[in-house]
Amino acid sequence: MKNILVVGSAGQIGSELTLALRNIYGGDQVVAGVRKTKPSEKLLETGPCEVVDALDKEGLVAVVDKYKIDVIINMAAILSGTGEKNPMLAWDVNMNGLINILELARERKMKQVLVPSSIAVFGPTTPVDNTPQETILKPTTIYGVTKVAGELLGDYYVKKYGMDVRGLRYPGIISHETLPGGGTTDYAVAIYYEAIKNKKYTCFVNENTRLPMMYMPDCLKATIDLMEADFDKLNYHCDYNVGAMDFTVAEMAESIKKHIPEFEISYEPDFRQDIADSWPNSVDDSPARKDWGWKPDYDLDAMTEDMLTAIGEKHKKGLI
Ligand code: AKB
């Protein structure tokens, strides 16, 4: 039996991951750790919720001891866009929050730590197509710098202390439950909401911007499959590339037009264009496929259909 704490449970991935883990392990076994954001009704109804801040080690210790936590997942992060506006905040949350969690896991001899990484570890000198697992890691954002350091730190805890620390390099994650906040890939979620609400969208990166992306059901599957994989079969620990699909913004718009022919898109690139341009078009995830059987289910059109249906329902109910 596992007692899991998800730090950052109110966020885009954390909110759905917490519910998915509760479905597998039972509601009482998975504590939702939220900072300021009010947890959703679904989180409150399905298991324990606690106020947790990755930067407050004493508060973390209290929750870990109260629930006898032996698996900790750190979903708290300042993403690329917000990070460029406030680099010191990104450093503080992404590095000091992470080291608090790793140290606590070491002190309490936890069974497992999950520390997510991102395609933001790559930079302009990284090969852009089918980016290999082992390649140049010279990001030009503070978020990317903290993610490279986080991967190295996690791997260090594996080697130095024999701990079980794992992580994957998430591409842009697209979902309809909880909005993303402060990332460069946020346009790939906003486009669907605006298509439903206003039938038009002004995108902050240009039409030819191509990035690796993944739909939330695949993100949950990748995360949980990596957590459950046999440790001895892992040739990497905190830095698995995971791909699912890649497309330009113009291709997204075409996919949406198949359902909403009158949809219009325009472009007003801002500072996030440079960030997007420094990231790969697509990643090679063959080590994840070989080591723990990674295989995505969704492509662009399947995701578009699902996203428009789900957001359309919310719109009809007056929720957005
Ligand atoms: C961001 O855009 O900053 C994130 C990421 C790719 O890690 N979604």
Atom of ligand 1 nearest to the CA of 119: 6
Closest CA to 32 of 13, 47, 20: 47
CA 68 / ligand 1 centre spacing (Å) = 32
Q: Which residues are bridge partners to 211 per DSSP?
A: 247
Type and span of the H or E element at 42: helix 41-46
Active site residues: 143
Torsion sign (Cα): 18, 19, 24, 25: positive
Q: What SS3 class is residue 157?
A: helix
CA atoms within 13 A on the CB side of 100: 20
185-220 per-position pLDDT tens digit:
999 999 999 999 999 999 999 999 999 999 999 999
Any residues with CB less than 8 A from the CB of 283 and at least 6 apart, and which? 119, 130, 131, 169, 171, 212, 241, 242, 243
What domains can be seen in the chain, in order of their start residue? 4-172+214-241 (3.40.50.720), 175-213+245-280+298-316 (3.90.25.10)
9-23 per-position pLDDT tens digit:
999 999 999 999 999
**pLDDT per residue of the chain (320 residues) written in tens, 0 to 9:** 899 999 999 999 999 999 999 999 999 999 999 997 778 899 999 999 999 999 999 999 999 999 999 999 999 999 999 999 999 999 999 999 999 999 999 999 999 999 999 999 999 999 999 999 999 999 999 999 999 999 999 999 999 999 999 999 999 999 999 999 999 999 999 999 999 999 999 999 999 999 999 999 999 999 999 999 999 999 999 999 999 999 999 999 999 999 999 999 999 999 999 999 999 999 999 999 999 999 999 999 999 999 999 999 999 999 99
Ligand 1 contact, 214 CB (< 6 A): no
Ligand 1 contact, 183 CB (< 6 A): yes
Ligand 1 contact, 184 CB (< 6 A): yes
CA 185 / ligand 1 centre spacing (Å) = 6
Ligand 1 contact, 243 CB (< 6 A): no
